[in-house]
Structure 1
């Protein structure tokens, strides 16, 4: 198609075709003559007057051409502007993240979610409906971190000889060497029992002083049969280290329950378990039965002395400060000074040393029970303590002991209607033990691989955005008075943040420390047949090679030398306790971390006013520098904001903020409590949130703060991305990533968990957020778009 001629070229076009000329017949008004109309330009033999054009037709043509040109010009401008807008929106709008980490995250979301569920009706199932077992996000992340440690520990030749790295690798290897552990059997444990004086069920028993045995159990084996003793900072200023005495940890609920039948079954199963332990250690069946039954009786009586934490809190007796002398008078059966001195060497102790006791009444009753048993059943008391030690050491023993333990846990779970615990692979147990005993070494190796400087920088940038959003939000909290508001803002700005790993974990020298007090681990020696003629045999302890036998392997013989795995385990127990005591004796210029760098639990420390986010938490699927910002803000950002709100827990307790608007604060808290009580659980019941209201408040506030920080980031930054093929906008992806953090099976929650069930941790905060209903287009009155909402933070 040829373009239309411009208006200025129209006369020349007519001239070139022999048509109208400009000098032909114009009127004075400048128009065309009407005489004779206008003849065809190719008819040249007409009279001049006949060849004059009409005064109206050319004007009409000119007007038509002009209108056509104007319309074409406008159309071209509109088309170009539209194309420009499309280009702008395509280049500035959210594009799909196509990196491998985003595809992995997409696969996780698709595997756990159930998109057939309407998000406005049940967002928990929309995000987590297919999550089963280890798909629970925190648990899955913790296991992934352990897999990374496993890869580190199994990497050949990656350690420095003679260093802590080498000992950590050797310990892990010996833990994984189940053939050697099976070959040793119960022999290493029998040796331990002999060192403690033996017990009557095996026919070899020396009546020793009760406190001597207790002292050995506490100091050499890390076992506390009647109480727990540990070093911790004081719960009140000045937060100096102090020895704390607490109730023991019982793994079997031997307390009279409402259902007598269930209690009898629990006692029966526990009796069967103790009988198995005694039999595996060579005890006579009749004596084993008798001693096991009395041990259950002692445990049951100790259990009756326990008082729940809620009861002690209500009575204002969470802890008491007493001297060792005072405790000796109130609980005289225990030689407190000698037992504590042996346990916390080289810490100097004296009778005037202050202790922090968590339940003094329990210790008094425990002491009276021990005195009664010493007067009539001294040998039974010895058996009770040894059976308890065997329980704690069973993970370091052969499969017979471990199978007996697993069977007990499974049957107790069935009786108490707890979900069965999945079987854990051997490598995971060995990784956990190696991490416990060699944390300084593994911390350095883990951070080096999993938390690069760029990751730390991106995480710190996210935290700064969250902290700024909280400071801004504090200005609009209606129940705060001006003085409290300023103090709260100062608390946030003065807060220290520890991210990734403690300072000492970043020093390579600590990763290579020698652990001189850790004994040698079991080692293997390859011997040529010329030096030794024996079968390919694993030997341990005092066993010897039988001479005169031919080699099944013509080249090498493999022999187990050195101490057993149990002995190495106990050596590490003593080394760890000594390091802990030594660290408390030294001045510590920075915060003592309460979680390993590969852990997944963030926390706020009141004494040090520090918030801690370990490297193990700031990993996929919660955080990655290459994720869409919506994911990082919705998952890791909401966790960060949740922990920051722990700073203000005290304000929410009765009398915690006397200058605040009490009526407005209590109204917001009652609204929050009612809000959670009206959200149904999957089984149709409702949850009493009085025990979890502090965590509920942090969940709701954490989500609101993270959303505010993300919205500000969207306003000032371009280049936002989304996950491909998920059909979620950035804001919808933000809420989806928040819910992903909470994914787990609803029935897997521990009874003492301070958090609400997972469905409430999703539905409670999201239904209280107007933006959620707006971005997901939820109809008014739907579960996720209620008629009223609460404003606490």
Structure 2
């Protein structure tokens, strides 16, 4: 669906229902009751009314002539009627209770280890139905949409409540909020990417026996990465030994003055290092629309080490003094750690910075390059050699893709051609001016760039220097846990092994089932919307109907024997992470070759959201992992969490700008927001703020995603009525309780969501027979409402 426009004008044929009847009403499947009444129990019939009447007037003598028992006929008939009515009511009640009791007993408790863990987690979390305020009136951040926050709200008088009742409730809410804040700080559900990394960590740290040779090497690499003591003990010595093998450099005192292009070829081939330009593999965007699968070598400007800023007036990149000083200090620290004599450090750093600044001035940010025309030029390697003659392009590319044969007539895609041309001139000038000098600034530039590549394999003193620079530049995001760093590094070299292990642990049948059911419910959701343009509707609906949703698996490696053969030449030592890391960089060259020669799109093991690839809607395996998904969970849990996330991902992917095409998006968004203001008691106190278009759309997306997931779950219950349960919760209540756990989750659209997703339960529960009647807070109006969204 790559040719689908970014902004879709969607429209659906209106149904025969009236606007009030279909516009914002949840579909009938959403009216499934909870434990308050069994959905399949027969409704209680009306009371039997026996209307036994006598004539209004009878002659007195006739009345006196009747036998005595006739005089009491009315009383006897009434007593008989009441007895019969009581018997029928008792029978109905017995049948109803017996059916309900048997229905509850039919919900088999889930006792798997995964369910026991989930049950423990649920018991430690606030129940959205017995403790609604803990979920519905609290947020994970300050309430930026209201002039007052929740804490300030608790200090005000509660309308309709005595002052003494307010003080008790305020104290109770205060304690509850403190507990909730502590819980969120300690048990905040991580983002899906972190959940996946944690799961891969468990795989790498598992003690499964016996492991294949490839799996053993993968785990040994991971363990050597965790061994920071050995890494710190080695210090800079492994890197200095590597530089010596490459011919040395002027800073170390020994330099064989090796050829510039020969050194560059070695850096590209063995160490995945590209100091003067970037190199990657990808498709030609102009050919994607035609369905071609051919990939090309793509050449672009490099990731510059020196911090620069774009000057919109001069239209050039430049280094500012306030950022240049900490950069110089970090370079001096690196040279000192590498054993450079103090007297020559500043000279080498000064020339390295000058060369870096010249290269940076030739670079340009993406938005500027887009404004100047096409992002790339297609040309042969021979034509590229003419434009930038300082670099031996054929020799360097042959080294980077060895042993793949390349010739001068092969095509490449050249990005930012002005930079590549200027880079060639700059390098040529510096080589001519300093080739006979003892400083070798171009050589120093390549060595420090290689140091940047190998930094993850060096000791803590190097990483601390890099962190200090990030802090000085104001872009530090905090230091990740070591295990997370090691999982990511392991994936870079052993992704095929991890993909194989993840595929073995993925419940394919259960994942495919929930994918298909959610996609089917999503398609039905589209028909509920009132679109503005019929032609675009027909186009989009045709696209949606043609989509093939499936689990994204790879067929590159089909057996452990193939993996063992592929990694047969890789040797991994448990106490030498540096040498292991160097081999990892060499393996990345093999992956580039595979990307260039293979037609199939390799599955991205670190992906956690679906993607469109032609007519296929692919769902990565990394989405279907514990604790978000497990094959032994009750389906209510899987649909309440993963079903909601899948539906939300699809809505964002397929309908990126639906707000401008459907009035219902605004109507639903404002309806839910008005409900939120009412429940949180902000509507009458200056809190009735309108939502921006992006916020309205996000509220509609998440509310619709919850509806889609619930409808898909109820449909699955119709097809397969049996489902297990946890903690004795009924199916729908377990669904909603599980959904409430998707709380405070890091999400790329989080800033557009004006409330916690768990509040959407109150909107879903607007149907009075869906949720328990206790869904309310003492200081607000009841959360049940006759007005539904």
Q: TM-score, normalised by structure 2?
A: 0.70
Matched, 1:267 2:334: no
Structure 1: runs of 5+ lacking an equivalent? 1-31, 35-53, 524-559, 654-662, 750-754
Select which of 351, 365, 373 maps to 1:308. 365
1:151 to 205, 214, 219: 205
Give secondary structure in 1 for the equivalent of 2:384: helix
> What's the CA shift for 1:317?
2.9
Change (3 A) 1:311 1:81: farther
Total equivalences in the alignment: 653
Q: 1:73 aligns with which of 59, 84, 92?
A: 84
The residue correspondences of 1:584-603 to structure 2 (distance < 5 A) are 584-586=596-598, 588=599, 590-593=600-603, 595-596=604-605, 599=606, 601-603=608-610
Could you tell which deviates more after superposition, 214-223 or 305-314?
305-314
Q: CA separation of 1:139/1:183 partners in 2, compared to 1, >3 Å: closer, same or farther?
A: same
Cα distance between partner residues in 1 of 2:357 and 2:351: 10
- Is 1:285 matched with 2:285? no
Aligned mates of 2:721, 2:323 — CA distance in 1: 62
* Aligned residue in 2 for 1:495: 547
Q: 1:187 aligns with which of 229, 237, 248?
A: 237
Structure with larger Rg: 1
Separation (CA, whole Å) in 1 of partners of 2:244 and 2:96: 85
1:724 correspondence with 2:782: no
Q: Counterpart of 1:357 in 2: which secondary structure?
A: strand
1:335 matched to 2:392? The reply is yes
CA–CA distance in 2 between the matches of 1:698 and 1:56? 78
Deviation at 1:74, TM superposition (A): 2.0
Of 86, 90, 93, the residue aligned with 1:82 is 93
In structure 2, list runs of 5 or more residues that go unmatched. 1-61, 142-176, 313-318, 678-686
Distance 1:107 1:500, change over 3 A: farther
What's the C-alpha RMSD, in Å, of the aligned pairs? Answer: 4.8
What is the correspondence of 1:379-778 to structure 2 with a 5 Å cutoff? 379-397=440-458, 399=459, 402-409=460-467, 412-413=470-471, 415-416=473-474, 418-425=476-483, 428-448=484-504, 450-451=505-506, 455-479=507-531, 484-499=536-551, 501-518=553-570, 520-522=571-573, 564-582=576-594, 584-586=596-598, 588=599, 590-593=600-603, 595-596=604-605, 599=606, 601-606=608-613, 608-645=614-651, 648=654, 652=657, 665=661, 702-703=705-706, 705-710=708-713, 712-713=715-716, 718=721, 724=727, 734=735, 737-738=738-739, 740-741=741-742, 743-744=744-745, 755-757=748-750, 760=753, 771=764
Offset at residue 618 of structure 1 (A): 0.6
Counterpart Cα distance in 1 of 2:586 and 2:510: 40
SS state of the match for residue 132, structure 1? helix
Distance in structure 1 (CA, Å) of the matches to 2:268 and 2:184: 43
Tell me if the contact between 2:698 and 2:752 (Cα under 8 Å) persists in the aligned partners: no
The answer to whether the 8 A contact 1:373-1:381 is kept is yes
C-alpha deviation, 1:740, in angstroms: 4.2
- Aligned mate of 2:378, from 321, 337, 341: 321
**CA 281–418 in structure 1, closer or farther in 2 if over 3 Å, else same:** closer
Deviations along 1:708-733, one digit per CA (max 9) or x if unpaired, are: 4345446666456665388xx86676
Asked if the contact 1:132/1:744 (under 8 Å) is kept, the reply is no
* Deviating more after overlay: 179-188 vs 280-289: 179-188
Per the alignment, in what secondary structure is the counterpart of residue 622 of structure 2? coil
1:249 shift after superposition: 2.7
Query: Are the counterparts in 1 of residues 670 and 691 from structure 2 also a CA contact under 8 Å?
Result: no
Who is 2:118 aligned against?
Answer: 105
Distance in 2 (CA, whole Å) between partners of 1:249 and 1:202 is: 26
Q: 1:669 to 1:724 in 2, by over 3 A?
A: closer
For CA contacts below 8 A with separation 6 or more, give which structure has more relative contact order: 2
Whether the 8 Å CA contact 1:229–1:243 is kept in 2: the answer is: yes
Matches within 5 A, 1:5-84: 56-59=67-70, 64=75, 67-84=78-95
Distance 1:301 1:224 in 2: 17
- Counterpart of 2:254 in structure 1 is 204
Whole-angstrom distance in 1 between the partners of 2:590 and 2:205: 29
TM-score normalised by structure 1 residue count: 0.69
Aligned to 1:132: 185
Judged with a 3 Å threshold, the aligned counterparts in structure 2 of structure 1 residues 576 and 478 are, in CA distance, closer, same or farther, namely same
CA contact (8 A) 1:255 1:303 kept: no
**Structure 1 residues 725 and 121, CA gap change in structure 2 (3 angstroms):** farther
Provide, for residues 378-429 of structure 1, a one-character-per-residue CA deviation record: whole Å limited to 9, x for no partner.
51121122112112212223x3xx333135325524652654234424xx44
Q: CA deviation at 1:106?
A: 4.8
The offset of 1:72, in angstroms, is: 2.6
Contact kept, 8 Å, 2:548 with 2:616, in 1: the verdict is yes
Secondary structure of 2:298's aligned partner:
strand
Contact preservation (8 Å) 1:138, 1:600: no
CA contact (8 A) 1:611 1:643 kept: no
How far did residue 468 of structure 1 move? 1.4
Aligned to 2:753, the other structure's residue is in SS state: helix
